[in-house]
Each structure stands twice: as C-alpha cells, then as structure tokens.
Amino acid sequence: MLNFPWRALSSERFAAVLVILMSIAAGIAAVVPQGAIAVDLAREPTATTMHTLFAYGLTDIFGSAWVKVIAALLLGNVAAILVRRRYDAKAALTETPPRDAPLSLDLRAERPERAVELVRGALSARVGPPRLEVAEGSKVALVFDSGSGVAAAPLVTHLGLLVAVMAAGIEVSTMNPKDAAPAAVLLVTDSTNGTLGRFNMVAGEQFEFFQFSAKYVLREYVRSRGNLGPAIRIERIARGQREGPSFWVYENAPKGFDQRHRAGEVFIDVESSSLKPLPGKGLTGKPTGALLLLGFALVAFGALRGQGASGRLWVLAEGAQVKLVGEPDVEGDRDFESRFESWTLDAKEVLEST
C-alpha cells in the first residue's frame, strides 16, 4: 500500500516537476515586485495592477504556503532518491562479475598468503573500502564501487540551484527600503557646450557638474512614480544656500527628455538607478547570504563530483591467481578505462613485490 507513494516521492520525474514549479515561482518573483517594494508601489492611487497582484498573492511568492510546500516536497524528494539509490545499489551488489564485462586482467601474486590483503590495501587507497567481501574457502571476492557519488551529483547540483534561487528570492522579498540608499548612474550634459559626463551618485553626496557652482544631491529613489517607471529626485543647491528646489528624472524617459522639459544649466539622463544596501545590511550581513553561499557550494560540489568515473571493480583471488574485472556505469567510458589501467598497475606492483 505504501509502495506507490514511496516510488512517487523517490521518482526523478517528480523531482523534475517540482523543479519546474519552483523555477516558475522564481520567475514570477523576478518579474513581480516583492515585499516592501510592492507595498510602496501599491500605495499609489493609480496602481490598480499592483492591487490585483496583491489579491492573487503574487507579491510575496517565497512567503506563500504553496511555495513552502513545493520546497519541502523537493527536499524530501532529493533525500528519498538518495536513499533509494543507495538501497538499490546495495541490493544489486554481487560477488560474481558479469560475463561480458569489458575490462579484465589476470595477475599472479608472489606471496599468495597476502594477495588479498595487499590488493585490498592498494585499491582502498584509490577507490575506497570494498562494498562487499565474500570468502569461500580459498576463494575471495572483493567488490569496489568507483565514483559512488557520481549518480547523485545532478541531484546535488539541482538542490544547490534551488537553494541559491530561494535565497535570492527571500532577499528580494524581505529587503527593507530603510536598509538601503538610493544610487544612480547619471549622464549629465553641459547646456552651454554640450559636454557629456558620466557620474555615479549615492544619496547624500554633493556633486558639482562641470564649471557650475551649484551642487546637486541625490535625495530619493522610487520604483515607480506615476506609472512611469523608476525615478530619482535630485536637489539643486545654489552657492551659499543650505537647500534648494528638487526635480524628478525618470530612468525610462527618452534620451533628452530632461532637456526638453526642464530649463537648467545641465540636463540629466538616468543610465541606471536602484537601492543599494547600506554597510552591514547586504547579503554578507544576513542569513540569506550564508544560504546563497551554500547553494553555490552545492552547485560546485555537484559539478566536480559529476566529473568522476563511475563503475564497479571486482577482485577475484584464489591462491596465487588474482583477477581484476571492471565494468563502467556508462558503456565506453574512457575515463573509467583509464582508471582501471591505473588500478591494475597498482595491484600488479604490490602483488609482484617480495
């Protein structure tokens, strides 16, 4: 009765479906404003679309119950697959190699009484301890698994991607605007001679553009203003004054828009604008930073682990006769064949030593 639920939970197809669903959720979170940013946008009287998104729960994707259920199922699925594969591999272990195994080599031991001990020590240092050891009278069989973690490498990689995506989504959805400062890259044109300059501004910094004495200060950034997209508020402070009038510049405005609609000594186009985390408030100062690092570490581990040669190695010893048999998991695996040659050289060296 429990067989079907277990096979479904430990199915790779089920994992693929869950990963696709989580990717869709991450895509929605990347397109739809999340958390505090969504709240600020919804306060605008014309933000009817944002109100609809709120009603459908699309502005707090990673805080929703269904995404948490998918994440829990995916973690359980990965664990179930690992357990099932380990159980299946253990159940399939046999001391008798297949008759059509592509790799084999016969060796002779100079000291038959120590042949098994010597080969076990030499191969354990390269492959790991034997998964199975069977002794019947003078016959001894050792079974080694090479690259036992290679099959699980794709799962580890996908799990790492999931963790990284979730960490990034949580960071976006929980970011508090009070923990960030407006920043912008501006293209400023001198109205007198057309000279163009590129300035990287952060809120509170005072800039003098070209030869003009007035100071310009970035004061505010909003994700959307009047349904016209991202905008920044800049204050112009004349010489001898402590404050001055402000004006808005829109990131999505056509080039030259500020020049056509505002009289001034300089004209400003916004190349990019955003909120940048304050020192200690970014990813490095939050648990999501550690979660993101864990995700990247799992991706790297899975990628490196997946490059190993995987297969099975048998050692059949009877007196002075020792036979090594190898079978790769993937037919024609050149890497496994190269490893098999290396293992046989190690075994030959210890068996022929006196």
Q: Would you state the pLDDT for residue 50?
A: 66
At 73-112, the pLDDT tens digits run: 887 887 887 777 766 666 567 878 888 889 999 999 988 8
Average pLDDT on 4-22 reads 76
Burial of 291 (0-12, 13-18, 19+ CB in 10 A): middle
Closest to 212 measured CA to CA, from 233, 186, 238: 238
Q: Does the predicted model carry a pTM greater than 0.75?
A: no
Binning pLDDT at 50, 70 and 90, where does residue 307 land? low
346: left (phi over 0), alpha (psi -120 to 50) or beta: alpha
Q: What's the mean pLDDT when you consider all of the chain?
A: 82
Q: Are 326 and 313 in contact (CB under 8 A)?
A: yes
In this prediction, what percent of the chain has a pLDDT beyond 70? 82
Q: Are 287 and 230 in contact (CB under 8 A)?
A: no
Q: Would you state the pLDDT for residue 46?
A: 54
Q: Would you state the pLDDT for residue 323?
A: 94
Q: Inform me whether the pLDDT recorded for 338 exceeds 80.
A: yes
Q: Would you state the pLDDT for residue 251?
A: 93
Task: List the domains of the chain with CATH numbers.
Answer: 1-92+151-305 (no CATH), 96-147+308-352 (3.30.310)
Binning pLDDT at 50, 70 and 90, where does residue 51 land? low
Q: Inform me whether the pLDDT recorded for 166 exceeds 90.
A: no
